[in-house]
Structure 1
Amino acid sequence: MRYTAFFLFFVIIVLQLSCNKEITSKDFTNPNTFTSGIEGPATDFEGNIYAVNYQKEGTIGKITPEGKLSMFLELPEGSIGNGIRFGKPDKMYIADYTNHNILMVDMNTKKISVFAHHPEANQPNDLAISPSGIIYASDPNWKKGTGNIWKITSSNGFEKLEGNMGTTNGIEVSPDGRKLYVNESVQRKIWVYDIQNNGAILNKKLLYSFEDFGLDGMRCDSDGNLYICRYDKGTVVILSPKGKLLKEIKLNGSKPTNITFSNDFSTFYVTMADKGCIEIVENIL
């Protein structure tokens, strides 16, 4: 009986240590291989990671799952990318904030075309794509501290869903396509909406509010948990779909701008403005 009790106690201690082990980040690319405008990032269907402003502004860098880094393409004259998303496997979408465009890249030919344009948008900043293929874009006005949300389709182009918000930045659609999450960087709030069948949004609710530091890009994992970059704090916060704070992961750098997952969701990659590189966090499942 004593041996059994000791064995059970030992198992419990091991399980507790396993559950409480610290998750740490490390550099996935060398510092300063990207500019301080490093953003994106996005993972294609083969596991390659892409981020904007590799070596100089107006470019897209590509990193293989093994960490091999190369120039993927240069954007048209005057275009600078921010958020990147993939729709179908052969289509990459880029928020071109300087020219008020959503660019589309044919992944087979690397041909770049304008998917949608709106001269009155402040800037398409970050992107999210629903399972039905609808693109959503955040649209901050940093000087005024305001922002919009846009719905973007090939048939109707830019359609404003909400204006006069705070500085809209990170944006994400839940895995089931039923919720839209949008954060306001300066106001430090995360809002959630119900997505209707036509792509419109209703029933705005406050999901979570932070007391300090900024908010930037965010992504959902396969369970619908939301991973949010805490700009200037150097962490990634994980919220449940109902807004419960589950965990906060410390990064090496202090200015995470955006995040993407590996295709099996066991790993995430974070673009770091202060280091000009991508950090990786593994074994998060």
Structure 2
Amino acid sequence: MVMTSRHFTQPGGFTSGIEGPACDPDGFIYAVNYERQGTIGKISPQGDAEVWIELPEGSIGSGIRCDINGNLLVADYARHHIFHIDRRTKEISVWAHEPAMNQPNDLAIMKNGTLLASDPDWDHGTGNIWIIAPDRTVTLLDGECGTTNGIEISPDERILYVNESLQRRIWAYDLLADGGIANKRLLIQYDDHLLDGMRCDMEGNLYVTRYGKGTVAKLSPDGKELGEIMLKGNNGTNLTFGGADGRICYVTVADTGNIQRFDVDCPGRCWGMWC
């Protein structure tokens, strides 16, 4: 039997720019561009959605991550910021800014607050990987990439996964104790469709949105495809894990303009950060 997602929020509530879902410790889900561009929507565990915050004028969010305290880090691809948003007060501050970025797109986060950011140049089919240390220092890790998009860290924080959308490749790197990366190797390459956001579960399996195919692929830590989940729509953009036990996967889908969900056997790594 093929697993299929089901609608969680009403179709059409988000723009086609829906992206970057993240769950907080209380089970609320956040995603960008609810009702209009430049917003962040907040969705209750029951699926009720509202505009939670307006980003500063000219900013448009993409990837979101919650830190160990449940506060939001948001990639603003339009103005090249990484925002920090206090979940309680809604105070927005610039966490990092790097003029050399093409556009911060998606984020991965470590328990100590270190961020890793993908940075695609869509026009030229190239991209970068950046690291933002807890002291907010921004450092280029790899400037010789394809169109970097989805980015994630293994549960033991030893492996960095980065995909290249247009090249349809997922790479794995060793994450070093000093914040560097080494031993770049190809995890998997696809022949069709695109790659977008991706997240690990607590066993190290990688869930990857196959933009244009309408699926989420589940991969083992060594790159073997374990199965696919069918979405209602073709253009899944990103995903996160939540629910009381971390076993609900929430997926943002651009062409239906909503968040969909399906159940998984193992909790997601993002949920496991709080355990």
Partners of 2:264 and 2:218 in 1: how far apart?
15
In the alignment, is residue 196 of structure 1 matched against residue 176 of structure 2? yes
Identity of aligned residues (%): 55
Unaligned segments of structure 2, at least 5 residues: 267-275
Partner of residue 53, structure 1: 33
- Where has structure 1 moved over 3 Å in runs of 4 or more? none
Contact 1:29 1:279 in 2 (8 A): yes
What TM-score do you get using the length of structure 2 for normalisation?
Answer: 0.94
Partner of residue 249, structure 2: 268
Instruction: Give the alignment partner of residue 194 of structure 2, picking from 206, 214, 239.
Output: 214
In the alignment, is residue 68 of structure 1 matched against residue 48 of structure 2? yes
Greater C-alpha radius of gyration: 1
Partner of residue 145, structure 1: 125
In the alignment, is residue 41 of structure 1 matched against residue 21 of structure 2? yes
Equivalences for 1:167-246 in 2 at 5 Å?
Answer: 167-246=147-226
Partner of residue 261, structure 2: 280
Q: Give the deviation of 1:69 after TM superposition.
A: 0.9
Contact 2:59 2:76 in 1 (8 A): yes
Q: Give the deviation of 1:90 after TM superposition.
A: 4.1
Contact 1:222 1:265 in 2 (8 A): no
In the alignment, is residue 79 of structure 1 matched against residue 59 of structure 2? yes
Unaligned segments of structure 1, at least 5 residues: 1-20
The number of aligned residues is 265
Please tell me the residue identity of whatever aligns with 1:185: S
| CA RMSD of superposed structures (Å) | 1.1
Partners of 2:149 and 2:167 in 1: how far apart?
11
Q: Give the deviation of 1:266 after TM superposition.
A: 1.7
Partner of residue 125, structure 1: 105
Instruction: Give the alignment partner of residue 92 of structure 2, picking from 100, 112, 116.
Output: 112
Partner of residue 247, structure 1: 227
Alignment deviations for residues 225-260 of structure 1 (CA, whole Å, 9 cap, x no partner): 000000000000011111111111111110000001
What TM-score do you get using the length of structure 1 for normalisation?
Answer: 0.90
How has the CA–CA distance of structure 1 residues 231 and 101 changed in structure 2, closer, same or farther, with 3 Å as cutoff?
A: same
Give 1 or 2: higher helix fraction. 1
Q: Give the deviation of 1:212 after TM superposition.
A: 0.5
Partners of 2:221 and 2:246 in 1: how far apart?
17
Q: Give the deviation of 1:91 after TM superposition.
A: 1.9
Contact 1:125 1:169 in 2 (8 A): yes
Partners of 1:149 and 1:29 in 2: how far apart?
32
Alignment deviations for residues 82-137 of structure 1 (CA, whole Å, 9 cap, x no partner): 00001122421000111111000011110000000011100100000012321000
Contact 2:95 2:136 in 1 (8 A): no
